[in-house]
Amino acid sequence: TSLKKDDIRTFREDFLEMHTYEQANFFKEQDKMLRRRIYGYLSPGEFAELMESMEIEETISYITEMNPYYSGAILSELPVDDAVDILNLMENEEVASFLSMMEREVASEIRQLLGYEEKTAGSIMTTEFITIYDTQTAEQVMKLLKEKAPDAETIYYLYVVDESAKLAGVLSLRDLIIAPEDALIREIMSEKVVAVSVAKDQEEVAQIFQDYDFLALPVVDFQDRLIGIITFDDILDVLEEEASEDYSMLA
């Protein structure tokens, strides 16, 4: 009744006293409106606890009806292998967007567990990048940058995607700053984008960095959708790793 009366304090007191299994059963009996209320009442960590006692298949429908930030936070709180099991039931695109909302360490662990092979672009990329659309104006993107820049790995290059999340262009921060405010991104971006496939060997990726002198490169999946970026510092790690391998072989 505290749930129906929207009495958050009493609800939390009674609800959190139950075993997580009972919490899950109670939750499952509620209609969508009341489920939404529960999402608002519980922290992602508290919700993750009760979700652990559900079947993976059951969780999917709930995950998708939540605010993505909330579900992203829940996935970060879950044991990574559970999170991976859940993500494995989702579409690639959805997975990428969840990973981009998770804590960096958690996301990178999950990504590896999701099966990107070791020593490929996918295993060294980060999902913390800024996506912009070809239909936005320079002014809109500048505003967006103010908001998003603190969490992005680099803002030096801005990768542009079309409505199907496919990589469509690139522009540098400098290109953006010198453009007229009302210019469309489509008009100022460069459409010839050098990108690497998520499965590309890290040594080949390092070679591309050396050939083109870019500070970052976009990573795409097999449908050409932007799923991550690799920055130059990741490449330094690769070079170091390869050099010490070569050295020990020599020894």
Contact 158, 179 (CB under 8 A): no
Tell which one of 157, 161, 226, 231 touches ligand ATP (CB under 6 A): 157
Task: Kindly state the smallest distance separating residue 215's Cβ from ligand ATP, in Å.
Answer: 6
Single-letter amino acid, residue 182: D
Toward ligand ATP, which CB reaches closer, 168 or 170?
A: 170
**Residue 175 interacts with ligand ATP (CB under 6 A)?**
yes
How far separated are the first and last CA of the chain, in Å rounded?
73
Binding status of residue 174 toward ligand ATP by CB under 6 A: yes
Q: Candidates 172, 183, 199, 201: give the one binding ligand ATP (CB under 6 A).
A: 172
Q: Which of helix, strand or coil describes residue 196?
A: strand
Interstrand relation of 157-161 and 131-133 (parallel, antiparallel or unpaired): parallel
CA-to-CA distance for 221 and 51, rounded, in angstroms? Answer: 30
Instruction: Check residue 224 for interaction with ligand ATP (CB under 6 A).
Output: no
The contacts of residue 124 (CB under 8 Å, 6+ apart) are 202, 205, 230, 234, 235, 237, 238
**Least distance in Å: CB of 197 to ligand ATP?**
13
Identity of the residue numbered 74: I
Give residue number: closest CB to ligand ATP.
Answer: 172
Closer to ligand ATP by Cβ: residue 110 or 176: 176
Which residues would be at the binding site for ligand ATP (CB under 6 A)? Answer: 157, 170-172, 174-175, 190, 192-194, 214-215, 217-218
